[in-house]
Structure 1
């Protein structure tokens, strides 16, 4: 056996959380980071803290056993590409050094116990690198023993606090009898409100455009809502409805909400109580799920070339290079689509709905499926996009891009956009413009693009060409005629003069 050579472009982050220990392994490829391994174990370290913040031997033992599993995978990764961070429980535990010394021996690596403020800033960085927000963003991460609340803009955290409450500590404190009653919920919500009300005025004064949840609690609630055929934006009304549904089960042991995974069940209700308190105290209207959090924040900090670059561009460029897209054609179609959108901006508010970057992205990526075969390439494109992470795009934007890619040529399935909720109309606008742009660019040459004018009135699109251009280009004329028929099947009107 030859000696193992560490893989220079592979990175590992281990996060010793209060509820779970996670290991994330990623590889730097085609200008992006590709996850090649994730290991997660429920350790519930915070459950081992007593009233004097002494960590029990049993909890430490659970942690050490988990780290022995992680250690095996770290052997192939260069030392400088490994970062291990520990959060709230090891900040609080008076005997944290005992745990740390043995853990470092097992891993052969130093553990950084990070402050609550640094944890909050790093969580924000993980969110900023995996989702795009044009204005200020509120990010919330409910951990096992602490909850981080951050307002940031672009890549910078502007306001950040780590609050002393978490789903494991609140489970021990307010649901110790494992019963689901109004009384237990109300006591937990009230206790969390007392903590949050101290910071609420400052946060409400700062304001934000979009709120994202970066924790397992938010993901679990989203999965429950999807199982109930609701859209995936959290609101206080939906949280209270899930609280009432939970109480109907009477005990945590019996809790069996559709969509709730078994490994989340134990700490779900305490996390839900904290989230309800956050919604009430900060007056949050709606919240989506963030793409990344602490681990991603640490990871992006380790790879210098990713500091503060344009995430959406990095994602799109990565796809184009991986799937050998004809860059000139992609640029031709996307420029034309944007030009069409801007020419009818008065009538179709694509820009107002923040749709231009989505139109540009899907126009640049519409041909990635050609690498597989031509006939069904739009289906292959949609499949690839649906099953690949798209940092820089929120989950709802990602779904819109997939739906438009799938419907950008051939027959348009009738129910294509039903599942997009609030983005349904935007997707219709984008797909209609993309389909026309693809046809107009079919000769794949810049100098043969026609001179035309596009106007929109309500839902009617009118495409007018100069003089005898369509007579001289019968193939283009016939393709546009067919397109007009396709769109009319869905009740859309495309007039070609």
Structure 2
């Protein structure tokens, strides 16, 4: 409340509501330090598509479920300016012949207009949501399996090039092919065959366009990834892995018995139908591997309201935001990053540091190595690692975030090799090599002045490193000598050989 007792308008808070065919979602964010900070997420399983009959009439029961959910959302919207709110409806509301009945009551509940978007517009917004939250310079394929439609997009940067919205989804396929709740080969085969037929209507143009990376932006893809991680595998989804998961589901026999490690309870009902659609997509489009994106429709709608954050390098925006929010000394962070780049440039071919975006991860680790100083000095490397582990970092995959956490955790003091060993995509050897270079960069930059940085040479014989400093330099810098000698001991304790000359 302000001094007059009126509600305060939160001009820096934004809300997006997505009226999906399976779930209704509300996302609330605050713009902080040049980036968005999520301050609220609400999700309710409405299964609107399940109430759509063969005549495309939405049942009163389904509409009531939707209205009851929106009544919960409405309270959170009261203090947000209308200009900062967007509400969109997707496939089921596109199809329903009695949609005006649903919308009239829904808009009265929310006090806001609802926009029912076309399939092509939904695909475009989904792609922008992925582009604004995931870092990728090459062509990418984006897949989003919704409750009643599946969007397929190929684009580059922030520009979608091919857009399709197909009439298949995890709720509609559940009703059509798994109505008896049996997990049988007949049910799976029928669902996969129907999905393949639908995908083939657009597949030729996608195969001709081509892509370098494939990402999934839906709950189905997230569920598959969580199952893989829950079973001790890395996060890359492949066709053999999907088919193996289907065999595990078949072994359960019935939806009531479906119990796979990593499968969340809330995803179980639509899991088989989503899996069937995903298998069909992999088969028809010859997808070799897929990872989970950082955002989709809601994020695309959100960033359309934030022109100041559009068309920026996603990872650079995240780095800048983290440095501002946690009061990192940006000049020193850049100094350490420059030193790390200098060392890496002398070894990057021999040590293959460019693989898995290793050089970019080294720079990011250098920029964030003092992240935890805002809490306290002694264990600031642990605090920084904790923040990274639990922060939303647009532009970084889960595997990259895990590597970044390991680098910051190990940039000083004792080396914890078990943390370095927990990499799901990056090789452990690369994580070790990046850690060693970051540690040396931090020590060599400890005076926090560019003019006292030494001209250094670094060489490697296999994994044995030799750091060569200018003649007499160590004699004039006794503290640096002591720090480097201590670092030799730290690395020896970890089983790594380091020599200082």
TM-score, normalisation: structure 1: 0.98
* RMSD of aligned residue pairs (Cα, Å): 1.2
1:467 equivalent to 2:471? Answer yes
Cα distance in 2, alignment partners of residues 269 and 160 from structure 1 = 26
User: Which deviates more, 400-409 or 253-262?
Assistant: 253-262
Provide the residue aligned with 2:419 in structure 1.
416
1:28 Cα offset (Å)? 0.7
Aligned pairs for 1:377-456 (under 5 A) are 377-423=380-426, 424-456=428-460
1:314 Cα offset (Å)? 1.3
SS in 2 for 1:253: helix
1:471 Cα offset (Å)? 2.1
Provide the residue aligned with 2:370 in structure 1.
367
SS in 1 for 2:423: helix
Among candidates 325, 346, 350, match of residue 347 of structure 1 = 350
1:75 Cα offset (Å)? 0.5
User: Which deviates more, 329-338 or 218-227?
Assistant: 218-227
1:352 Cα offset (Å)? 4.3
1:67 Cα offset (Å)? 0.8
Cα displacement string for residues 338-386 of structure 1 (whole angstroms, at most 9, x for unaligned residues): 1111122231221244222211111011001111111111000100111
1:160 Cα offset (Å)? 1.2
Cα displacement string for residues 301-329 of structure 1 (whole angstroms, at most 9, x for unaligned residues): 11110110121111111111111111221
Aligned pairs for 1:164-203 (under 5 A) are 164-203=167-206
1:14 Cα offset (Å)? 0.5
Provide the residue aligned with 2:482 in structure 1.
478
Query: Which runs of 5 or more structure 1 residues have no equivalent in the other structure?
Result: none
Provide the residue aligned with 2:135 in structure 1.
132
1:470 Cα offset (Å)? 1.4
User: Which deviates more, 304-313 or 41-50?
Assistant: 304-313
1:192 Cα offset (Å)? 0.3
Provide the residue aligned with 2:277 in structure 1.
274
Q: Is the 8 A contact 2:20 2:91 kept in 1?
A: yes
Cα distance in 2, alignment partners of residues 457 and 164 from structure 1 = 58
Q: Is the 8 A contact 1:13 1:84 kept in 2?
A: yes
1:250 equivalent to 2:235? Answer no
Q: Is the 8 A contact 2:399 2:425 kept in 1?
A: no
1:64 equivalent to 2:63? Answer no
Cα displacement string for residues 232-254 of structure 1 (whole angstroms, at most 9, x for unaligned residues): 11111111111111111111122
Cα distance in 2, alignment partners of residues 493 and 204 from structure 1 = 49
Q: Is the 8 A contact 1:347 1:457 kept in 2?
A: no
Provide the residue aligned with 2:92 in structure 1.
89
SS in 1 for 2:37: strand
Provide the residue aligned with 2:34 in structure 1.
31
SS in 2 for 1:85: strand
1:401 Cα offset (Å)? 0.3
Among candidates 329, 333, 354, match of residue 332 of structure 2 = 329
Among candidates 109, 120, 125, match of residue 123 of structure 2 = 120
1:415 Cα offset (Å)? 1.6
SS in 2 for 1:421: coil
Q: Is the 8 A contact 1:31 1:318 kept in 2?
A: yes
1:109 equivalent to 2:109? Answer no
User: Which deviates more, 403-412 or 458-467?
Assistant: 458-467
User: Which deviates more, 348-357 or 78-87?
Assistant: 348-357
Among candidates 235, 240, 255, match of residue 237 of structure 1 = 240
Cα displacement string for residues 401-421 of structure 1 (whole angstroms, at most 9, x for unaligned residues): 001111111111122222213
TM-score, normalisation: structure 2: 0.97
Query: Which runs of 5 or more structure 2 residues have no equivalent in the other structure?
Result: none
